[in-house]
Amino acid sequence: MLLLSKILSLLIYPLSFSLLLLISALLLRLTGVGRLANLLTVLVTVWLYFCATEFGASQLLSPLEAAYPAFADEELPEADAIVVLGGGVSGETRYGLGGDLNQAADRFWRGAELYRAGKAPIMVLSGGAVLAGGMPEAALMAQKLRGLGLPDTAWVEESRSRTTRENAQYSRALLADRGVHHILLVTSASHMRRAAAVFTAQDFVVTAVATDHQQPLRVGPVPGWLPTLERLARSTRAIHEWVGYWVYSWLGYLTPSVNETVA
C-alpha cells in the first residue's frame, strides 16, 4: 500500500505529470488527433514553466509557510514533549557513515534547541525506515543529536512510522503511558498544516513549531522569470502538501473519529 501511494504521488509532481501528458500527446498525434496533441503540449509547457519560476513557486508555497511563521524560544510555551518529525536526514548511502543532512535538517536541530531551552522534558524522534532493512530515520536523527552533545535520555525513538498519519498514531501509542497531552510539534512549515491536523486528531494539544522555511526573502541572482531546478523543487514540495492535505481530509484522517489504538 505504501509503495502504491508513493508511486501515485509521483504522478502529481510537475515533472512526472508533464511527462505523462507529453506521452499522451505523442499517442494522440500518432492516432491522428493532432489538434488535441498540440493543446496538451502547450499546456505542459506552460505548467512546467510556471512551476519552475519564482512566481509559480511563490504562489504555491507561500500560503503554506505564511500560516506558520517561526517563533523564538521565549515566545513558545512549555509542553509535555517535543515531537520531531523525520524528513531531515536522508537514508544511509553506499559510501557514507550514517545518514546525511538534507534541506529539512532544521527539524531535528530545532528540536534540540527547544530541549536545551527547557521547553519539554523529553523529545520524540518520529520516523521509520522507508526501505526494508534500512536504518529507521529516528535512529539516524539520534546519531546526529549525540553529535550535538545531547544525552540519550533526552529522547525516545518512534521508529515504525512511514507516513505523517503513522507519525501521529505511533507517537500517541508511545506516549500513552507518559501522561503527554500538550506537544511542541516540529516539522517543516510547508508540512505543518497537515501534520498539526493529524496530531490534533490523535488527541494531542499541538503547538506548531515550524521550521525549514523555503520561500526566500529576496530573489536572485537568477531573475525570477527564469526557470530553475530549485524553484521547481519548491513547487513540487508545495503541490505534495496541498494534495496530501486534501487526500488526508477525504480519507477522514484529520478528524478524531478515525483514531485507532496502535500497539
User: How wide is the angle at C-alpha 175 spanned by C-alphas 169 and 179, nearest 5°?
Assistant: 130
Per-residue pLDDT, 262: 60
pLDDT in tens, 129-166: 877 778 899 999 999 999 999 999 999 999 999 999 99
Please tell me the pTM assigned to this model: 0.91
Residue with the three cell numbers 530549485: 230
Per-residue pLDDT, 259: 47
pLDDT in tens, 100-135: 888 899 999 999 999 999 999 999 999 998 777 788
Q: Which has the closest alpha carbon to 82: 183, 207, 173?
A: 183
- Mean pLDDT across the chain, nearest whole number? 92
Instruction: Please say whether the beta carbons of 163 and 126 come within 8 A.
Output: no
Per-residue pLDDT, 97: 80
Q: Which has the closest alpha carbon to 243: 45, 5, 83, 50?
A: 5
